[in-house]
Amino acid sequence: MAFLPTDVLLIIDVQNDFCPGGALAVPEGDAVVPVINGLIAEAMQAGAAVVLTQDWHPVGHGSFASSHAGRQPFETITMPYGEQVLWPNHCVQDSLGAAFHPDLRSGAAQAIIRKGGTPTVDSYSAFFENDHQTATGLQGYLQARGVTRVIGCGLATDYCVSYSLLDARAIGLQAVLIEDASRGINLDGSVGRALAALAQAGVTITTAQRFCP
């Protein structure tokens, strides 16, 4: 497998708050950075698109446990659009925690999609908010560039990465997960469930070595 000009390397939420020491640290989250930097170099050489996403919440966002009286982080509540895990405050717009990991070659991105800006709705996927209707604009961007395959990686495997790749399949794109360029939060086995759902949806699960010969 190699990058094609009709691919996008979609790098999800490699931000300080998802790395060790951050507000919603993913175990080994920072370990993805050198692997992703290698993928960026390969993608650019092949003429593939490179797109980053940034979780980008307003102060007091509805996904924060602190916005719900008496609720604790990692509890689940029911929102009008469905089940919602409540998170610690994280990736607040313009904060250091919302910035990309300093070693990520973020300058290589041709587009940066910011998501999670609607105060009352979370947005795991790079394509649609959690209401599964409100578009981020990524679909139109990829369509305009003639992209037919999404190569996904980043943080977290079981939330924003998997939701993005499932939506890619749902809108008719091919999709690939680079498993070793991703890490998960893993609440109650959520990584295993996510990998099963991805495979079921026709997402190819592979490793960075396949793209970096």
Choice between 3 and 36, CB closer to ligand VGL: 36
Cα 183 from Cα 30, distance rounded (Å): 9
Strand pairing class (76-79; 149-155): unpaired
Q: Which residues bind Zn ion (CB under 5 A)?
A: 55
Residue 156 binds which one of Zn ion, ligand VGL, none, with CB within 5 to 8 A depending on kind? ligand VGL
Which entry of 7, 17, 55, 115 is annotated as an active-site residue?
115
122 is catalytic: no
Residues in CB range of 189: below 8 A, 6 or more apart: none
Cα 62 from Cα 68, distance rounded (Å): 8
Taking CB under 6 A as the binding criterion, the range among 28-36, 44-52, 102-110, 155-163 that sits at the site for ligand VGL is: 155-163
Which entry of 55, 153, 160, 167 is annotated as an active-site residue?
160
Q: Which of 160, 173, 175, 203 binds ligand VGL (CB under 6 A)?
A: 160
Least spacing, CB of residue 57 vs Zn ion, in Å:
6
Give backbone dihedrals phi and psi of 77, rounded to 5 degrees, phi first: -125, 170
Choice between 7 and 55, CB closer to Zn ion: 55
Least spacing, CB of residue 2 vs ligand VGL, in Å:
27
Q: Is the Cβ–Cβ distance between 169 and 203 less than 8 Å? A: yes
Residue 155 binds which one of Zn ion, ligand VGL, none, with CB within 5 to 8 A depending on kind? ligand VGL
User: Considering the rule CB under 6 A, would residue 159 count as an interface residue with ligand VGL?
Assistant: yes
Q: Is the Cβ–Cβ distance between 169 and 175 less than 8 Å? A: yes
User: Considering the rule CB under 6 A, would residue 155 count as an interface residue with ligand VGL?
Assistant: yes
Cα 123 from Cα 61, distance rounded (Å): 11
Which entry of 13, 55, 122, 167 is annotated as an active-site residue?
13
Q: Is the Cβ–Cβ distance between 108 and 40 less than 8 Å? A: yes
Taking CB under 6 A as the binding criterion, the range among 30-38, 103-111, 154-162, 205-213 that sits at the site for ligand VGL is: 154-162
User: Considering the rule CB under 6 A, would residue 87 count as an interface residue with ligand VGL?
Assistant: yes
What residues between 23 and 82 interact with ligand VGL by CB under 6 A? 55
Other Cβ atoms within 10 Å of 199 Cβ, number = 12
Q: Is the Cβ–Cβ distance between 97 and 86 less than 8 Å? A: no
E strand or H helix that includes residue 113: strand 111-115
Cα 5 from Cα 146, distance rounded (Å): 9
Q: Which residues bind ligand VGL (CB under 6 A)?
A: 13, 18, 55, 87, 155-156, 159-160
Catalytic residue numbers? 13, 115, 160
